Amino acid sequence: MSSYLKNVWAGFYTAVKGMMITSRHMFKKSVTIQYPDEKFDLPANARNKLVLDMSRCNACTACAIACPVNCITVEGVRVSPEDPHQEVHADGKPRKVWVTRYEMDLAKCCFCGLCQAACPSDAIKHTQDFEYSAYNKESLYFKYQILTPEQSAEKVRLLAEFKEKEAAAKAAAAEKAATEGKPVAPKKAAPKADEASEQ
Amino acid sequence: MESTNFIWDLMGKNLWSVVAVISLPLIFVLIYALVAILAELKVSAWIQERLGPMRTGPWGILQPIAEVIKLLQKEDITPTAASKILFNLAPYVIFTGAYAAFAVIPFSEAYAPANINVGLFYIFAVGSFSAIGIVMGGWASNNKYSLMGAMRSVSQVISYEIPAAVAVLAVVVLTSSMNMMEISRMQEGGFWNWYIFGGPGGWTKIFMIPFTLTLAIIYFIASLAETNRLPFDIPEGESELVAGFHTEYSGMKFAMFFFAEYANMFVVAAVVTTIFLGGWTSPFGSFLAGAGWGAFWFILKSMFVVFLQIWIRWTLPRFRVDQLMYIGWKVLLPISLVCFIAISFFSLLNLG
Amino acid sequence: MDLTTLAFFFFAALTLGFGAVVVLSRNIMHAAFSLLFTFFGVAGLYVLLHADFLAITQIMIYIGGILVLIIFGVMLTTRITGVDVKSGRTGKLQLGLTAALSVALAAVLVKIFLSTLWHIAPAADVDATAELIGNALLTKYLIAFEAASILLLVAIVGAAFIARKK
Ligand code: SF4
Ligand code: SF4
């Protein structure tokens, strides 16, 4: 009998106690963040949308190689020394490679951060922007350009011309050397444009 | 005896006044249900340290309207294997049961839709319509979950009707009246005259306070079970029975169940208010008393009880079926009987 | 025709109509649910007779108690997945016999109805029937009342005994 009464009392008491607890929570500040209106600060190293700084990138393709899902495509062409349009990188060094193509498919990206780590010139970076959902995948395919296609073609042509000229000069020099009987070690072939590596 | 239905007098006691008297509680139920749904959403959110709906109107106060509109737009499905007539009838039977009880609720000194002598008894009687409606819907759905939900619901309603009735009966012994208006009037003159505190009487009533208090709590618990609210919502326990007896319902018919549940909540809250919390009487004697203030106090007290129901719902988890029966038959019933006998004894001694 | 008469015909039609469904329906569940409206109609008739307590008792006991019990019984005794419960077809002979019996019974009832001198007393305007019934039950009809309660108690004890004896 007494244990029965104790049980009943315990049941009642615990219910009341539970209600007291919930009533305390009723007046606590809500933890909800009303998202589009308020946002909380992401940690500084949060990895979200990738942004490329074209003035830094030198088309070294380190990022494209590092990327595990192959979402980056880079092509570049060496700056011809005779190019009338010379540029300086953001870090003050002269530009040695024109980026003719830089495409990033953020629909594929898994935000692993490897490209950022691989980039030697801090050109590709994760930003804090995570609100870039889109209705179609095409709008997540980002194409970066500093040159118009015509300009790129022009740069390719310029470099080819320069190389031709150089080759001609070399041939001439070799001929000269041959006539002078002094062999000359062939210079290292100009690296292919998209494997350009400077620093 | 002065009139207890001012609309009846105002409109000249003809057919139109009948319509007005009938429709006023209906309008009240609709508005109240919207408020209660919002309260449910908001209180549950606050208890869980959320904000609840915030986007529909300022602080989300239009959320219930949005929900009702959403329900109205939904497809109204009748399962092919269901018993069509009964399936379509059940929501109306349930709502009738809930709404019929409003006929005797004394909202104020000047307004009870029907001031009948056996009001309390009447409320218990029409409550059985909901039970029948639930069985009807559950059986007609031709769905195991619905049927199980219906069976559970009815066994629960039947079991908990007894302690609830005993608790009410104890107050009837004290008032020697089943007229809800009369019971309210007896508790006039301040909150110490409410039956939860032993009712009106001299200092000797303090012996009765523990018993009336217990009965009030018992009635409240039993009323939770009768309205199928948590922690007694085993008829619709989501984790076991999908949605219980209204698994198959959608659209407007589901909305009827929804409204009936909230209407039922108000009915039991009104009964608690009337018999234990002084009905429409002011808690401060003659201060702020009167017909208009009466309605204010009545609705305030009832809404407080509704709030208690919501509060409990978001505090306690659901009981198991055997625990439910244990509480009903082995805890509430014996204790309410003891209190009932004690109160009858006191009232024989004229202590109250 | 005033409102009361209209209400009377409404309730009478309700009672008789659904009573017919109870008798004629082959689906036992439909029959059981039709009882709901029959009982409700009877309660309405009680209200029209100024017997408010009796009307509410009718709803409470018959709808809230007996009807629920019947439905429960039907649901528990058939397969719970509820293929429609049908009452069996009656044979020609039985049909003829019952028809004859019913007609005879109806004839007797009509005869009695016509030959009785009906006493139409003016409706006594009793306001509180509950009190009168209570007083009568505990004074004049005390023995019957107590006998009924003892009967119910015996029934409960018996039911509990049968249920326990598994
Ligand atoms: S974050 Fe990872 S997946 Fe995304 S582009 Fe960089 S390397 Fe590729
Ligand atoms: S690693 Fe950096 S510099 Fe190299 S291609 Fe990628 S973004 Fe440009």
Average pLDDT score over residue span A181-195: 50
Residue B247 in tokens:
């698994």
Q: How far apart are CA C4 and CA C14, in angstroms?
A: 15
The DSSP element (H or E) to which A78 belongs, if any, is strand A72-78
| Amino acid C89: pLDDT | 66
CA-A64 nearest atom, ligand 2:
6
CA distances from C140 to C55, C126, C132 (A): 22, 19, 11
Confidence of residue C106 (pLDDT cuts 50, 70, 90): very high
Contact A30 B49 (CB under 8 A): yes
Between residues B351 and B319, which one has the greater pLDDT? B319
The domain of A110 spans 50-151
Chains A and C touch (3+ CB pairs under 8 A): no
pLDDT for residue B344 is more than 80: yes
Average pLDDT score over residue span A159-167: 85
Q: Does B231 sit behind a cis peptide bond, omega within 30 degrees of 0 on the bond before it?
A: yes
CB-based contact, B121 to chain C, within 8 Å: yes
Residue B303 CA to chain centroid, in angstroms?
A: 11
pLDDT digits (tens, 9 = 90+) for C5-55: 888 888 899 899 989 888 887 777 788 888 888 988 888 888 888 777 888
| Amino acid B136: pLDDT | 84
Please state the pTM of the whole predicted model.
0.77
| Amino acid B69: pLDDT | 87
The alpha-carbon gap from B128 to the nearest alpha carbon of chain C, in Å, equals 5
pLDDT for residue C83 is more than 60: no
Question: Residue ranges per domain, chain C?
Answer: 1-84, 128-166
Provide the phi-psi class of B116: left if phi over 0, else alpha when psi is between -120 and 50, else beta.
Answer: beta
Contact B128 C68 (CB under 8 A): yes
| Amino acid B277: pLDDT | 84
CB-based contact, C72 to chain B, within 8 Å: yes
The DSSP element (H or E) to which C110 belongs, if any, is helix C92-115
pLDDT for residue A198 is more than 50: no
Taking the centre of ligand 2 as the mean of its atom positions, its distance from the CA of residue A65, in whole angstroms, is 10
pLDDT for residue C153 is more than 90: yes
| Amino acid A54: pLDDT | 83
Q: How far apart are CA B295 and CA B281, in angstroms?
A: 9
Contact B43 A11 (CB under 8 A): no
| Amino acid A192: pLDDT | 46
CA distances from A60 to A54, A138, A156, A162, B169 (A): 12, 25, 17, 21, 90
Question: What single-letter DSSP state applies at residue B85?
Answer: H
| Amino acid A195: pLDDT | 44
Please enumerate in sequence order all residues whose Cβ is within 8 A of that of C123, keeping only pairs 6 or more positions apart, or say none.
Answer: C49, C50
Sign of CA dihedral B49, B52, B54, B58: negative
Confidence of residue C154 (pLDDT cuts 50, 70, 90): very high
> In whole numbers, what is the pLDDT of chain C averaged over residues?
82
CB-based contact, B97 to chain C, within 8 Å: no
| Amino acid A196: pLDDT | 43
| Amino acid B150: pLDDT | 83
Taking the centre of ligand 2 as the mean of its atom positions, its distance from the CA of residue A63, in whole angstroms, is 5
Residue A63 lies in a domain: yes
Please enumerate in sequence order all residues whose Cβ is within 8 A of that of B87, keeping only pairs 6 or more positions apart, or say none.
Answer: B78, B79, B137, B140, B141, B248
Confidence of residue C146 (pLDDT cuts 50, 70, 90): very high
Residue A128 lies in a domain: yes
Average pLDDT score over residue span B209-216: 86
**B312 contacts on A by Cβ (under 8 Å):** 15, 19
| Amino acid C143: pLDDT | 92
**A152 in contact with ligand 2, CB cutoff 6 A:** no
| Amino acid B5: pLDDT | 65
Residue A28 lies in a domain: no
Residue A86: CA atoms inside 13 Å, Cβ hemisphere, count? Answer: 9
Is residue B247 within 8 A of residue B145, CB to CB? The reply is yes
Confidence of residue C100 (pLDDT cuts 50, 70, 90): very high
| Amino acid B175: pLDDT | 82
Is residue B268 within 8 A of residue B117, CB to CB? The reply is no
Between residues B251 and B10, which one has the greater pLDDT? B251
Q: Find the Cα–Cα–Cα–Cα dihedral A172, A173, A178, A184, rounded to 10°.
A: -140
CB-based contact, B314 to chain A, within 8 Å: yes
Taking the centre of ligand 1 as the mean of its atom positions, its distance from the CA of residue A138, in whole angstroms, is 18
CA distances from B121 to B169, B288, C53 (A): 9, 30, 8
Beta bridge mates, A158: none
Q: How far apart are CA C39 and CA C17, in angstroms?
A: 12
pLDDT digits (tens, 9 = 90+) for B74-109: 888 788 877 788 888 888 888 888 888 888 888 877
Sign of CA dihedral B142, B37, B122, B97: negative
The alpha-carbon gap from A20 to the nearest alpha carbon of chain B, in Å, equals 9
Nearest CA to ligand 1 atom 6: A115
The alpha-carbon gap from B47 to the nearest alpha carbon of chain A, in Å, equals 4
**Ligand 1 neighbours (beta carbon < 6 A):** A 50, 66-69, 71-72, 109-115
Taking the centre of ligand 2 as the mean of its atom positions, its distance from the CA of residue B345, in whole angstroms, is 93
Q: How far apart are CA A47 and CA A110, in angstroms?
A: 10
pLDDT for residue B239 is more than 50: yes
Q: How far apart are CA C76 and CA B78, in angstroms?
A: 25
Average pLDDT score over residue span B151-176: 85
3-state secondary structure of A126: strand
Contact A15 B316 (CB under 8 A): yes
Between residues B223 and B200, which one has the greater pLDDT? B223
Between residues A83 and B168, which one has the greater pLDDT? B168
pLDDT digits (tens, 9 = 90+) for B4-57: 666 666 666 666 777 777 788 888 888 888 888 888 888 888 888 888 888 887
pLDDT for residue A82 is more than 80: no
**C81 contacts on B by Cβ (under 8 Å):** 144
pLDDT digits (tens, 9 = 90+) for A12-58: 898 889 888 888 888 888 888 888 888 888 888 888 888 888 888 88
Instruction: Name the packing angle between helices B333-348 and B144-175 (round to 10°).
Output: 10
Residue of B nearest to A4 (CA): B331
Q: How far apart are CA B115 and CA B180, in angstroms?
A: 8
| Amino acid C166: pLDDT | 61
**C21 contacts on B by Cβ (under 8 Å):** none
ipTM above 0.95, yes or no: no
What is the number of other CB atoms lying within 10 angstroms of the CB of residue C134?
A: 13
Residue of A nearest to B328 (CA): A8
Least confident of B37-46, B86-95, B217-226, C66-75: C66-75
Residue A99 lies in a domain: yes
Q: How far apart are CA B221 and CA B232, in angstroms?
A: 9
Is residue B290 within 8 A of residue B205, CB to CB? The reply is no
Contact B48 A25 (CB under 8 A): yes
The alpha-carbon gap from B44 to the nearest alpha carbon of chain A, in Å, equals 9
pLDDT for residue C81 is more than 60: no
**A104 in contact with ligand 2, CB cutoff 6 A:** no
CATH number of the domain residue A133 falls in: 3.30.70.3270
Q: How far apart are CA B298 and CA B306, in angstroms?
A: 12
Question: What single-letter DSSP state applies at residue A88?
Answer: B
Alpha-carbon Rg for chain A in angstroms: 31
Confidence of residue B283 (pLDDT cuts 50, 70, 90): confident
The DSSP element (H or E) to which A97 belongs, if any, is strand A97-105
Confidence of residue C84 (pLDDT cuts 50, 70, 90): low
> In whole numbers, what is the pLDDT of chain A averaged over residues?
81
Provide the phi-psi class of A191: left if phi over 0, else alpha when psi is between -120 and 50, else beta.
Answer: beta
pLDDT for residue A188 is more than 60: no
Average pLDDT score over residue span B107-116: 76
| Amino acid C149: pLDDT | 92
CB-based contact, B43 to chain A, within 8 Å: yes
| Amino acid B259: pLDDT | 85
CB-based contact, B77 to chain C, within 8 Å: no
Compare CB distances from A26 to B46, B51, B327 and report the shortest one's residue: B46
Is residue B146 within 8 A of residue B138, CB to CB? The reply is yes
| Amino acid C150: pLDDT | 95
| Amino acid A190: pLDDT | 47
Number of compact structural domains in chain A: 1
**Which of the four CATH numbers 3.40.1440.10, 3.40.140.10, 1.10.10.10, 1.20.120.1200 does domain C1-84 have?**
1.20.120.1200
Residue A71 lies in a domain: yes
